[in-house]
Structure 1
Amino acid sequence: MTSPFDRIRPAATTARQVSDLAVAFGLTIAPGHPADAAVTCVASDNRVARPGDLFVAVPGARAHGAQFAADAVARGATAVLTDARGAELIAADTTVPVLVADEDPRAILGQVAAWVLGNPAEELMTFGVTGTNGKTTTTYQLDHLLRALGWKGGLIGTVETRSGDRVIPSVLTTPEAADLQALLAAMREDHVRTLAMEVSSHALAQHRVDGVVFGVAGFTNLTQDHLDFHGDFESYFATKADLFTPARARRGVITLDDTWGERMAEVAQVPVATLTTLPGKDADWTVTDVAPSGTGSAFTLTHRDGRTLRTSTSLPGGYNVANAALAVTMVLEGGSDIRDVTDALAAGHGLSATVPGRMEVLATAPRVVVDFAHNTEALELSLAALRPTTTGRLAVVFGATGDRDPGKRPFMGAAAVRGADVVYVTDDDPHDEDPAKVRAEVLAGTGPNGTPERIVDAADGGGSRTVEVREVAPRADAIRAAILAAGPDDTVLVAGRGHETVQEIAGVDHPLDDRVEARAALAARTGQPQQNV
């Protein structure tokens, strides 16, 4: 698949000499190849290489990138950067310089791409957000506020990428290093002044954000996720903590609402401001006086020095108050005056950014909400946010991802039973796992026997209540069943996929958009009272 970032590259570039690059990064030029050439951009995927590119050939899980160097050169690449093994694989008659790194070129790819493109991140006000849950929402709120302050903004994240008014879908939460630097250079050309960016743990571990030092880095929370990649919580935490080092950020804002946030504040190697929404907890910035406001909440944000503002978020739930407060705090810690921020928030009716697939309300009678909640903590929080405003029954449709952290599956099942009145266990992205096996592991956490259709008792304030548990697959059928069975006062939460439009089953991509399926089910409620939005 060709990267969409092939379409967002700077139109004008400055030629850099390979010989200068070799000196700057301590590289050698392989014997038998030309000694110099000009490069104008960087590609790490031969399929997106263009004339003037430096092709960086890194070792992969299945093949070495050097095996594709000839194709990159045929597409116009004027030089290749690789390791010693890659240099051996590249034919001696290659007509371009071959630079050799002593280590995996991936480790210097970000810095090399930044150098070739003139360090574009240095010309932007950059805000990076990490954590398990809330990255997307926080970056959208950041972008919303920065634009309200009059800045031309850029956004990079799970749902989409924006350069000013240019918008494209995202393939990765955080782009690969060469794509990222090209995108930042294009933003510079578009006269973008600010950047709100999600920074995933995979991106930190895989050097994707190398070459960027964020002006302000933010931390949301840490819950069980991605342990298939990191192995354990400590490794996961250590990877996130790398964002709060001088090589990655100048300043940080850390939410202290969980113990991992407290630890992050302790280990951070850059100056940090702390934030909490919890009563009685000591922090630099504190959220108080949370009250319902429209579909979301109003709140007051106060610094220990007395600075204060009151604003609101249109998204429901206490965790979205935390996300909104983090966005505001990051902007303030980035140097904006609290009076300007207060005025901008007032003019924009608070933080009212629409975040695709994040507590997105599709109908109100019954209320149908699509959310990206795809781990235990996120599922618990989403259900807890919807419970107080649900006068009827609260139903949830969800599944667990195949080939990803199987340990969380029964915990997700248990969370669904604790939070909902009707539970539909279905498929998420099975990938290469047997979907029925994944569903069974989720069902195992929902109660006795884990049978496909049953009634279980869930603890509720010291008592118990009955919860209906059903296994329904495929996912479109589960969404339809839940919505058709709902009464006008009920809420149906379709959780786990949010904005995603493709479901992968056994290596094959199938079109599937929870929002499309939900709207189709709503349209099928012939003769039943409903209100779509």
Structure 2
Amino acid sequence: MTSPQGRMRPQHPATHRVVDLIDVFGLSVQGVAPGPDATLSGVSVASGDVRPGDLFVALSGLKVHGATFTAQAVEGGAVAILTDQAGVELLAADQPPIPILVAPDPRSLAGPIAAWAHDHPAQGVVTVGITGTNGKTTTSYFVDAALRAQHASTGVMGTVELRIGAEAIESPRTTVEAPVVQSILALMRERGATACTMEVSSHALALGRVGGLEFDVVGFTNLQRDHLDFHGDMEGYFRDKSRLFAPGQARRGVVVVDDVWGQRLAAEAQIPVESVSTLVGAPVAETADWAVTSADIGLDGIGSTFTLRGPDGVEHAAASPLPGRVNVSNAALAVVIAHRAGVDLATAIHAVGHASEIPGRMERVVERGAGMPLGLVDYAHTPDALVLALDAVRPITPGRLILVFGSDGDRDQGKRPLMGEIAARLADVLVVTDENPRSEDPAVIRAAILDGVRGARPDLADVHEATSRSQAIHDAFEIATEQDTIIITGKGHEPTQEIAGVFHRYNDRDVLLAAARARRELEGQDA
């Protein structure tokens, strides 16, 4: 069955001859030779998303080679297959009835071929790409708000959703596969959208998911510990992030230089880059192109205001609609990105300051009052992000700060005790539970977190463990008083929870609301 993102294609796609594809990209042919009039109208790396007229790109995967699914692709209407030598060997015993096109690295060609197949749709759209460990989603929504102030219709591709104009679907990952990127851009062009903001993950950069796309402007938020299971170490992580700031991948960049990685990126990038300092009084602010020179950090749902100095020395009054120091950084970066993407500076500042709430990012789900605690959901899933989240809610918490959290399975194991230690230091009550265990034993993940908790709180006072995330949230509500704050971190907006390879429908916000309803009903009965 075709996935939702696989259906986001233009109604009137361009068509190109298969023989021209072979010639343009220098491909060799195995098996059936393509006819001179055979045409393709799309590209897919997922056999289930193949439509009649598609080129099926069969890639080597983590567990299985895509060529294994050739029969399904042929049944879906594929007109040719692009694969590597390993794929050719897998198909040797059962040759498909369509041409097998061969390249040493088909993954690197998936994006460029998809761009070619759709007549380079990004050429008609202002494109913005945002990378970094934390803040990509918030910054992308801020940028989109500014772009919408100047463009009648815009698109967003990111962690939360894939959206064109008012139509949106859930996103399967931060950055979708290259053929999907290009088909969505083609659909944007067909529907008249003239600007697109995209989150670009380090995985996407390493795996070529933005291949064939040259962004007009790219931005960098920060680099903090995450995904080291994939990148190996921070140097490898930085190297993959840096791919976005390369000639041919982007025309110009905007980099937050609050950390050493941002400073290094600004110095080493091979494209024109402007630097943004967002920490008031930081030494780097003196030489940065843009700098936050003062800030009034908002609390308890009230956004922050700040002053942004431009390259000409002129200072501008600006704002973030979300509280916390981190959102001053996100807003300042968004203003500069949008301005360099063609939005008038005053317009960008106003639009970012009035952007709407962002799902799962310091999202206030239950308001304090009438016996109820304040309940928030945040995506913080790295050590640094957890510090920022807890620091942001402490000043608005008259009672205890109650944290519900876990850590992902099949991901960087080294951050688990770090998260536990931070939680033990900065929160009053901890409910340790599961995030997305994936293929790992959830108890093993929780044990690693609790090891970190013991480093700061040996007696495990006010530390609870819950094997169900839903139960963990209900437990937190049973503990909380009106003066307390409950913050649930790690999953944010995510609509599913992956356990033992199975995706279950689940959302922190929904469970938090259900826990609040249950408490109101119980207190009503008691009364």
The bucket for the TM-score relative to the shorter chain is over 0.9
**Using the alignment, how far apart are the partners of 2:444 and 2:402 within structure 1?**
23
Q: Are the equivalent residues in 2 in contact too, given 1:285–1:303 (CA < 8 A)? A: yes
**Using the alignment, how far apart are the partners of 1:341 and 1:403 within structure 2?**
40
- Amino acid in structure 1 at the alignment position of 2:68: Q
1:356 partnered with 2:363: no
**Using the alignment, how far apart are the partners of 1:446 and 1:488 within structure 2?**
26
What is the aligned partner in structure 2 of residue 96 from structure 1?
A: 98
Give SS of 1:289's match: strand
| Cα offset, 1:450, TM superposition | 7.3
What is the aligned partner in structure 2 of residue 515 from structure 1?
A: 509
| Cα offset, 1:151, TM superposition | 3.8
| Cα offset, 1:193, TM superposition | 0.6
- Amino acid in structure 1 at the alignment position of 2:246: T
- Amino acid in structure 1 at the alignment position of 2:467: A
What is the aligned partner in structure 2 of residue 288 from structure 1?
A: 293
**Using the alignment, how far apart are the partners of 1:506 and 1:450 within structure 2?**
31
**Using the alignment, how far apart are the partners of 2:118 and 2:355 within structure 1?**
35
| Cα offset, 1:247, TM superposition | 2.2
What is the aligned partner in structure 2 of residue 494 from structure 1?
A: 488
Give SS of 1:369's match: strand
| Cα offset, 1:264, TM superposition | 1.0
1:313 partnered with 2:320: yes
Task: State how 1:382-531 maps to structure 2 within 5 Å.
Answer: 382-447=389-454, 454-455=460-461, 468-526=462-520
| Cα offset, 1:58, TM superposition | 1.7
| Cα offset, 1:51, TM superposition | 1.1
**Using the alignment, how far apart are the partners of 2:320 and 2:58 within structure 1?**
45
What is the aligned partner in structure 2 of residue 13 from structure 1?
A: 13
Q: Greater shift after overlay, 382-391 or 217-226?
A: 382-391
| Cα offset, 1:448, TM superposition | 5.0
- Amino acid in structure 2 at the alignment position of 1:11: Q
**Structure-1-length-normalised TM-score:** 0.92
**Using the alignment, how far apart are the partners of 1:94 and 1:454 within structure 2?**
61
Give SS of 1:54's match: strand
What is the root-mean-square deviation in Å for CA atoms of aligned residues? 2.0
What is the aligned partner in structure 2 of residue 46 from structure 1?
A: 47
Task: State how 1:312-351 maps to structure 2 within 5 Å.
Answer: 312-342=319-349, 345=350, 350-351=353-354
**Using the alignment, how far apart are the partners of 1:364 and 1:60 within structure 2?**
45
Q: Are the equivalent residues in 2 in contact too, given 1:149–1:341 (CA < 8 A)? A: no
1:208 partnered with 2:209: yes
Give a deviation string over 1:277-297, Cα, whole Å, max 9, x none.
121423111113211456220
**Structure-2-length-normalised TM-score:** 0.93
Q: Are the equivalent residues in 2 in contact too, given 1:297–1:315 (CA < 8 A)? A: yes
1:301 partnered with 2:308: yes
1:376 partnered with 2:412: no
Give a deviation string over 1:121-175, Cα, whole Å, max 9, x none.
1211111000000111111111111112344110000111101111000001100
**Using the alignment, how far apart are the partners of 2:95 and 2:399 within structure 1?**
73
1:73 partnered with 2:94: no
Q: Are the equivalent residues in 1 in contact too, given 2:425–2:456 (CA < 8 A)? A: no
**Using the alignment, how far apart are the partners of 1:361 and 1:51 within structure 2?**
45
| Cα offset, 1:31, TM superposition | 4.8
Give SS of 1:251's match: strand
Structure 1 unmatched runs, 5+? 456-467
Give a deviation string over 1:459-503, Cα, whole Å, max 9, x none.
xxxxxxxxx322233211211111222121211111111111222
Give a deviation string over 1:437-457, Cα, whole Å, max 9, x none.
111110111125977x732xx
**Using the alignment, how far apart are the partners of 1:529 and 1:298 within structure 2?**
39
- Amino acid in structure 2 at the alignment position of 1:18: V
What is the aligned partner in structure 2 of residue 120 from structure 1?
A: 121
The aligned length equals 512
**Using the alignment, how far apart are the partners of 1:206 and 1:240 within structure 2?**
12
| Cα offset, 1:213, TM superposition | 0.7
Q: Are the equivalent residues in 2 in contact too, given 1:324–1:351 (CA < 8 A)? A: no
Give SS of 1:406's match: coil
What is the aligned partner in structure 2 of residue 29 from structure 1?
A: 29
Structure 2 unmatched runs, 5+? none
| Cα offset, 1:237, TM superposition | 0.4
| Cα offset, 1:436, TM superposition | 1.5
Give SS of 2:353's match: coil
**Using the alignment, how far apart are the partners of 2:48 and 2:87 within structure 1?**
18
- Amino acid in structure 1 at the alignment position of 2:238: F
Identity rate, percent: 48
Give SS of 2:357's match: coil
- Amino acid in structure 1 at the alignment position of 2:294: D
- Amino acid in structure 1 at the alignment position of 2:303: G
Give SS of 2:162's match: strand
**Using the alignment, how far apart are the partners of 1:187 and 1:449 within structure 2?**
51
Give SS of 2:399's match: coil
| Cα offset, 1:93, TM superposition | 5.8
What is the aligned partner in structure 1 of residue 109 from structure 2?
A: 108
Q: Are the equivalent residues in 1 in contact too, given 2:141–2:355 (CA < 8 A)? A: no
